[in-house]
Structure 1
Amino acid sequence: MPDSGTPKTFARIAHHYREKILSGGLEPGAKLPANKEMAASWGVAVATVGRALQQLQVEGIIRTSPRGTFVADDPMAGVSARDRLTRVQRVRTLLMEGETSAVSSASLVVPPLYIAEIFDLDHGDQVVRREYTTGRGGTRLTFGVNWYPAHFAAMVPDLLSTGRKKNDDLTARVLEATGRRITYARDDMHGRAADEREASHLGLPVGTPILAGAHRWADDDGVIEYGEWCLPPRMTIGYEYLP
């Protein structure tokens, strides 16, 4: 008997198609299976499929017409820090399929006071600071800055490199080299206006509304990676969690 549509089933279907679209597995304009076909494939009621697709439509990932359901021509869906950590744990890379990154700076610096406090540093201690932009095709998706303990650079020299493709699996290599394991993760987000640096990297006018956030990945020994990032306007971030 088809599933009656529990929240877990509905969320699982939405997550499946969201991930396929964000990863490039389904390209803009691609047609999704008919609702009845999808329901049979998942072993659920057609109404359950409808709820899942309605959620994706609200997120701007898909569009519907009398001809069927299609991936939006310009899916306005961003990738959360949680999505990236899950990606690292599954396939080592921070990037989704078809996504690229470019590192504009990487160096050891004496950080601002709030960063020093996050890493529990003494006055004058240094950290690794990496500035990057992600995109897909000609679309800029994220601008961000990641921070790491300074001694990680001796174990993973690429932390101080801006070389192409050395950013993709860096978190995985940091975890391997340090023997650390992320056991605590937190995301914080807020809307505000883009400053000059953020606007330049995202190709926006200064003052454009953006979604800005920060992630903190840590274990009992302290913070492993702290990152600050922002997304262009109209981008939607969503992720599941256990209640």
Structure 2
Amino acid sequence: MADEQRTFSEIADHYRERILSGALEPGSRLPSSEELCGTWGVTTTTIGQALQALAVERHVCMTPRGTFVADEPRWTLTPRDRLTRVQRAGSFLAEGETSIVLAAELTRPPLHVAELLDLDEGAQVVRREWVAGRGRTRTAYAVTWYPATYLAVAPELLNTAPGLNHTITNKVLEATKRTITHARDDMHARTANAREANHLGVPVGSTIMAGAHRWSDEDGVIEYGEWCLPKLFTVGYEYRPNP
């Protein structure tokens, strides 16, 4: 039973990664159950479990004609996934995902942001507000915060030009010569306010997943972000339990 369960997870992980990476495009057809059984050397029950998991996550659609990658997969990246992409490729966007900067400004921070960034009273921050999407689907609305002192080495923080936003974290790290060594994500479900609803394209009061991330090193928080996702979007992450 343990081996069968592990194999089901491995198969689902394999096709999930291929979908998220863009290797399997929306509308493309997965091999038949019989072909998958032969490829993986498992039973039809195991293949069915793997495909059901992908269907529940809305990565695929199962029809009498076969299993297809969803036309507009309702998934987005966790902050951990985005950080991994920054470290590997310099961009926090997924394949096929784009972003638009709605605002980039120097401003006085809310109290909780000032405390997280360990700023003196009266200090300013850079506030970047942006929305990400894939095709017609909005995948995230976010606000990220940085100490204003970063502007001396990373003036791009105030730039709203298209094509720059997805590399901004990497530019900050290169300019400040800092390395993210600790990260924390916090998430909760709530209803969308007017601003969030407008940028996510959902009615005001809709249920959303909201969260915040802190990316730090031994000298403190490098980037703090607050974000929210539309309802029914799937996010997930792997972890290794202690033995």
Would you call these one fold, judging by a TM-score over 0.5?
A: yes
The aligned counterpart of 1:87 is: 85
Describe the SS at the equivalent of 1:135: strand
The aligned counterpart of 1:202 is: 200
Describe the SS at the equivalent of 1:93: coil
The aligned counterpart of 2:115 is: 117
Aligned partner of 2:169 among 168, 171, 183: 171
The aligned counterpart of 2:155 is: 157
Alignment of 1:23-38 (within 5 A): 23-38=21-36
In structure 2, C-alpha distance between the alignment counterparts of 1:233 and 1:193, rounded to whole Å: 10
Distance of aligned partners of 1:226 and 1:10 in 2 relative to their CA distance in 1, 3 Å threshold = farther
Paired residue type of 1:152 = Y
In structure 2, C-alpha distance between the alignment counterparts of 1:234 and 1:143, rounded to whole Å: 15
Q: Contact (CA 8 Å) 2:72, 2:137: kept in 1 or not?
A: no
1:108 aligns with 2:100: no
Give the superposition deviation at 1:119: 0.8
Give the superposition deviation at 1:37: 3.3
Give the superposition deviation at 1:138: 1.8
Q: Contact (CA 8 Å) 1:199, 1:208: kept in 2 or not?
A: yes
Describe the SS at the equivalent of 2:203: coil
In structure 2, C-alpha distance between the alignment counterparts of 1:153 and 1:75, rounded to whole Å: 37
Give the superposition deviation at 1:89: 1.6
Q: Can you list the C-alpha shifts for 1:17-43, whole angstroms capped at 9, x where unaligned?
A: 2233234332222111234434554x5
Give the superposition deviation at 1:195: 0.6
Give the superposition deviation at 1:178: 1.4
The aligned counterpart of 1:45 is: 42
Aligned partner of 2:182 among 154, 173, 184: 184
In structure 2, C-alpha distance between the alignment counterparts of 1:53 and 1:139, rounded to whole Å: 23
Give the superposition deviation at 1:11: 3.7
Describe the SS at the equivalent of 1:147: strand
TM-score (norm 2): 0.90
Q: Contact (CA 8 Å) 1:105, 1:132: kept in 2 or not?
A: yes
Alignment of 1:109-148 (within 5 A): 109-148=107-146
In structure 2, C-alpha distance between the alignment counterparts of 1:232 and 1:60, rounded to whole Å: 14
TM-score (norm 1): 0.90
In structure 2, C-alpha distance between the alignment counterparts of 1:206 and 1:172, rounded to whole Å: 34
Describe the SS at the equivalent of 2:17: helix
* Stretch moving more, 54-63 or 99-108: 54-63
Count of aligned positions: 239
The aligned counterpart of 1:218 is: 216
In structure 2, C-alpha distance between the alignment counterparts of 1:211 and 1:163, rounded to whole Å: 28
Q: Contact (CA 8 Å) 1:25, 1:97: kept in 2 or not?
A: no
Q: Can you list the C-alpha shifts for 1:141-187, whole angstroms capped at 9, x where unaligned?
A: 11100011221122111111111111111111211121211111111
* Stretch moving more, 28-37 or 203-212: 28-37
Q: Contact (CA 8 Å) 2:19, 2:69: kept in 1 or not?
A: yes
Describe the SS at the equivalent of 2:237: coil
Gaps of 5+ in 2: none
Distance of aligned partners of 1:16 and 1:85 in 2 relative to their CA distance in 1, 3 Å threshold = farther
Give the superposition deviation at 1:6: 5.6
In structure 2, C-alpha distance between the alignment counterparts of 1:187 and 1:48, rounded to whole Å: 33
Describe the SS at the equivalent of 2:166: coil
Q: Contact (CA 8 Å) 2:125, 2:145: kept in 1 or not?
A: yes
Q: Can you list the C-alpha shifts for 1:86-115, whole angstroms capped at 9, x where unaligned?
A: 111221111111111000111121100000
Gaps of 5+ in 1: none
